[in-house]
Structure 1
Amino acid sequence: MKTAYNQTSSQPLPDYANGVTLGLQELMVYKQQAVRWLPPAKSLWATALGQHQSRQLGRGMDFAEVRQYQPGDDIRTIDWRVTARTGKPHTKLFTEEREKPVVLYIDLSRSLFFGSTYLLKSVQLGHMVSLIAWLSLAQKDRIGAVIDTGAALIELRPSNRMQGPLGILQQLIDHHNQLLTAPVDSPTVSFTRALETLRRLCSKGSEIVMLSDFTRFESQHDTLIGQLRQHNRVRMVQFWDPLEQGNTEFRGIEQVSDRSTTQWLDFASKQTRTVLANSFQARQDALKSTALSHGVSFSSISSAKPLLQQLFG
Structure 2
Amino acid sequence: MAQSVKQLLPAHADGVHLCLEELLPYKQHTVKWLPPAKSLWSQLLGQHQSKQLGRGMDFAEVRQYQPGDDIRAIDWRVTARTGKPHTKLFSEEREKPVILYVDLSSTMQFGSSLLLKSVQAAHIASLISWLSVAEKDRIGAVIDTGSSLVEIKPTSRNKGPLQIIAQLVECQQQALSGASAPSSMQTVLMTLNRLCPKGSEVIMISDFVNYEDSFRPLFNQLRKHNRVKLVHIFDPLEQGETQFRGIERVSDGKNARWLNFSSKSDRLSIKNAFDSRKLELESLSQSMEMDYRSLSSDISLLQQLSG
Query: TM-score by structure 2 length?
Result: 0.92
The separation in 1 between residues aligned to 2:70 and 2:305, in whole angstroms, is 33
1:115 matched residue in structure 2: 111
1:145 aligns with 2:111: no
The separation in 2 between residues aligned to 1:6 and 1:275, in whole angstroms, is 29
Q: Residue 286 of structure 1: SS of its match in structure 2?
A: helix
Deviation digits for residues 143-201 of structure 1 (CA, Å, limit 9, x no counterpart): 1111111011111111113211100110011110222121x3x3454211111011001
In structure 2, do the counterparts of structure 1 residues 192 and 6 end up closer, same or farther at CA, with 3 Å as the change threshold?
farther
Alignment of 1:6-155 (within 5 A): 9=5, 12-48=8-44, 49=46, 59-155=55-151
In structure 2, do the counterparts of structure 1 residues 16 and 266 end up closer, same or farther at CA, with 3 Å as the change threshold?
same
What amino acid is aligned across from residue 115 of structure 2 in structure 1?
L
1:173 matched residue in structure 2: 169
Deviation digits for residues 237-268 of structure 1 (CA, Å, limit 9, x no counterpart): 11000100101122222221233333321111
What amino acid is aligned across from residue 269 of structure 1 in structure 2?
S
1:211 matched residue in structure 2: 205
Q: How far apart are residue 60 of structure 1 and its match?
A: 1.9
1:275 aligns with 2:300: no
Cα RMSD over matched residues?
2.4
Q: Residue 129 of structure 2: SS of its match in structure 1?
A: helix
Q: Is the 2:48–2:285 contact (alpha carbons within 8 Å) kept by the matching residues of 1? A: no
Q: How far apart are residue 203 of structure 1 and its match?
A: 1.3
Q: Percent identity?
A: 57
Q: Residue 233 of structure 2: SS of its match in structure 1?
A: strand
1:291 matched residue in structure 2: 285
Alignment of 1:156-195 (within 5 A): 156-182=152-178, 184=179, 186-195=180-189
The separation in 1 between residues aligned to 2:282 and 2:109, in whole angstroms, is 23
Pairs aligned (count): 306
Deviation digits for residues 255-308 of structure 1 (CA, Å, limit 9, x no counterpart): 212333333211111000110011111111111111111111111101111212
The separation in 1 between residues aligned to 2:63 and 2:91, in whole angstroms, is 14
What amino acid is aligned across from residue 209 of structure 1 in structure 2?
I
Q: How far apart are residue 52 of structure 1 and its match?
A: 9.9
In structure 2, do the counterparts of structure 1 residues 311 and 72 end up closer, same or farther at CA, with 3 Å as the change threshold?
farther
The separation in 2 between residues aligned to 1:245 and 1:296, in whole angstroms, is 24
Q: How far apart are residue 8 of structure 1 and its match?
A: 7.0
Which blocks of at least 5 consecutive residues in structure 1 are unaligned? none
- The farther-off stretch of 280-289 and 13-22 is 13-22
Which blocks of at least 5 consecutive residues in structure 2 are unaligned? none
What amino acid is aligned across from residue 172 of structure 1 in structure 2?
L
